């Protein structure tokens, strides 16, 4: 099954914040980051001042400490512990042990020179049953993390849902239940009140499309369902949760910005035939417009709606007023870009470019340019940030292939900025090697190596390279 992605970004000035008593002072900078600003050589691609150079992670993929300090289980705990669900039976029980190594990781981020760090909040760590009273110890972890970021001058970008639905809510029907949208918005509101004086950039959902495709259609992700009809209903409720969370954010009067993080793929006809163009439009509806239109225009695409079979439960799930609610004004859009899609006249897909260890990841940097400029053309001038882009490699610390990949994608992003796209930042997936869902620890996506046994950290060549990019505020092609 191929996977695809979108992203968003937000550059918000870091808020000066005091360290909590248990936050060790940031280490003195060392190495190239501390020396006078290096400059770009001839042909270098300079990025706008204040560009939010960042990296991304998500809670279940890095935190570990799965049963500590009162955290409740999520669907991913349940799923990864079922036989045959993940490669080698890997789980996120320990993951990158980020929960315990948070200060070490903060120092690594500072050392890279990151301006922005996108992480996700584990819903069941702060609300073990998904609803009700906050778990103070769980919430405290995010205070430590956010305070540590701010003390190091790094802007926190918090994602509220990166696939880890609390198991207690799954037991009540999860996203197939309309109520789940409200449960999500209630949790989001608790986070706005708890962390909103320090976090100014919020992302509601990470890649609802992937949840629909892999979690509910093919079942290779949690919660492991294989039911297309249920999948579409869950997809609508996810979007409704987004809209309700945006509305809740406005209601808190917190300063800051909020939006979704969507994985987008440019869709191209595989040949010049009219049939391929027709099929590509259908696929584009599923892949892109079905998510972008409700979030940014407040309506589902007509052709997508018309294609839903009579009697499909999603038709009943979409009630009057829902689409407008989903379209509550977003302040930004996170774009996650990994791969293009080429559609044949028969509606099949073909791969036209090299792939990576992740077979779905067809490498086509121009696709990033195409999707960014397309969002501007079709949806207006909403600020964009790339919330994810990156690749896995079997090379260990000498990951030159990752450097080439990132360089080429940054060059495409630079061209998009030149074409007038309001791209405010770029977050590499991922800061750390981590638990790559069904692939377990077999795919390593990090700028920083995490030893599979000891969890010791070591900067890869790509981390050193990225540090230079950030220091120069640009890329040397
Ligand atoms: C994205 C996910 C992220 C990671 C990367 C490789 O779809 O959002 O968690 O798995 O792919």
8 A C-beta contact, residue 57 and residue 25: no
Convert 326-337 into a string of H (helix), E (strand) and C (coil).
Answer: HCCCCCCEEEEC
The set of protein residues with a Cβ atom below 6 angstroms from ligand 1 is: 3, 5, 58, 61, 206-207, 210, 263, 388, 429, 436-437, 445
Catalytic pick among 63, 176, 207, 328: 207
Contact of 266 with 412, CB cutoff 8 Å: no
SS3 content of the chain, % helix, strand, coil (to 5): 40, 15, 45
Reported confidence tier of residue 1, pLDDT bands at 50, 70, 90: very low
How many Å apart are CA 98 and CA 105, to the nearest integer? 7
Ligand 1, atom 9: closest residue by C-alpha: 58
For residue 384, the surrounding DSSP H or E stretch is strand 384-388
Rounded to the nearest whole angstrom, what is the distance from the C-alpha of residue 30 to the centroid of ligand 1?
Answer: 31
Using CA of residue 15, residue 18, residue 22, residue 26, what is the dihedral sign? Answer: positive
388 is a catalytic site residue: yes
d(C-alpha 83, C-alpha 81), whole Å: 6
Q: How far apart are CA 248 and CA 187, in angstroms?
A: 10
Is 214's pLDDT higher than 50? yes
Instruction: Provide CATH code, domain 3-15+52-475.
Output: 3.20.20.80
pLDDT tens-digit series, residues 60-115: 999 999 999 999 999 999 999 999 999 999 999 999 999 999 999 999 999 999 99
Catalytic (active site) residue 439: no
One of 63, 388, 424, 436 is an active-site residue; which one?
388
Spatial distance between the Cα atoms of 297 and 294, rounded to a whole number of angstroms:
5
Contact 252, 190 (CB under 8 A): no
pLDDT at 4 over 60: no
Q: Ligand 1 pocket: which of 62, 429, 431, 439 to mutate (most atoms <8 Å of CB)?
A: 429
Distance (Å, rounded) from C-alpha 153 to C-alpha 118?
14
The pLDDT assigned to 35 comes to 60
Token pair belonging to 298: 């407040």
Using the mean position of ligand 1's atoms as its centre, give its distance from the Cα of residue 311 in Å: 33
Predicted pLDDT at 37: 76
Backbone angles phi, psi at 56, to 5 degrees: -120, 150
Question: What is the reported pLDDT for 36?
Answer: 72
What pLDDT does 425 receive?
98
pTM of the entire predicted model = 0.93
In tens, the pLDDT along 44-63 reads: 999 999 999 999 999 999 99
Nearest 5°: phi and psi at 24? -60, 145
């Amino acid at each position: 099954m191929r996977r695809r992605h979108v992203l968003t970004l937000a550059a918000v000035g870091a808020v000066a914040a005091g360290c909590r008593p248990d936050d060790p002072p940031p280490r003195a900078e060392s190495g190239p980051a501390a020396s006078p600003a290096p400059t770009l050589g001839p042909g270098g691609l300079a990025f706008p001042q204040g560009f939010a150079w960042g990296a991304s992670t998500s809670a279940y993929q890095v935190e570990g400490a799965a049963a500590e300090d009162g955290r409740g289980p999520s669907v991913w705990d349940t799923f990864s512990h079922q036989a045959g669900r993940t490669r080698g039976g890997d789980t996120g029980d320990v993951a990158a042990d980020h929960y315990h190594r948070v200060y070490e990781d903060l120092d690594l981020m500072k050392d890279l020179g990151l301006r922005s760090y996108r992480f996700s909040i584990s819903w069941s760590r702060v609300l073990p049953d998904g609803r009700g009273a906050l778990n103070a110890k769980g919430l405290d972890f995010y205070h430590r993390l956010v305070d540590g970021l701010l003390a190091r001058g790094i802007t926190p970008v918090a994602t509220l849902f990166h696939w880890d639905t609390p198991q207690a809510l799954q037991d009540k029907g999860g996203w197939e239940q309309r109520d789940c949208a409200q449960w999500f918005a209630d949790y989001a509101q608790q986070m706005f009140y708890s962390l909103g004086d320090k976090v100014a950039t919020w992302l509601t959902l990470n890649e609802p499309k992937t949840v629909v495709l892999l979690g509910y259609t093919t079942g290779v992700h949690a919660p492991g369902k294989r039911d297309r009809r249920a999948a579409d209903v869950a997809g609508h409720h996810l979007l409704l949760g987004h809209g309700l969370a945006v509305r809740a954010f406005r209601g808190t009067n917190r300063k800051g910005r909020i939006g979704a993080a969507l994985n987008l793929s440019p869709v191209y006809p595989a040949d010049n035939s009219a049939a391929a163009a027709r099929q590509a439009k259908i696929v584009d509806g599923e892949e892109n417009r079905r998510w972008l239109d409700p979030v940014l225009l407040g309506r589902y695409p007509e052709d997508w709606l018309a294609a839903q079979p009579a009697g499909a439960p999603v038709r009943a799930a979409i009630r009057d007023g829902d689409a407008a609610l989903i379209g509550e004004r977003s302040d930004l859009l996170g774009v996650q870009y990994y791969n293009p899609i080429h559609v044949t006249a028969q509606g099949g897909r073909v791969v036209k470019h090299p792939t990576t260890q992740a077979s779905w990841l067809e490498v086509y940097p121009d696709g990033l340019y195409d999707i960014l400029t397309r969002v501007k053309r079709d949806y207006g001038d909403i600020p964009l940030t790339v919330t994810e882009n990156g690749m896995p490699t079997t090379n260990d610390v000498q990951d030159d292939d990752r450097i080439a990949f990132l360089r080429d994608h940054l060059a495409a992003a630079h061209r998009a900025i030149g074409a007038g796209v309001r791209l405010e930042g770029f977050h590499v997936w991922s800061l750390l090697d981590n638990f790559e869902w069904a692939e377990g620890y077999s795919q390593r996506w990090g700028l920083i190596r995490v030893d599979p046994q000891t969890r010791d950290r070591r900067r890869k060549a790509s981390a050193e390279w990225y540090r230079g990019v950030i220091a120069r505020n640009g890329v040397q092609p």
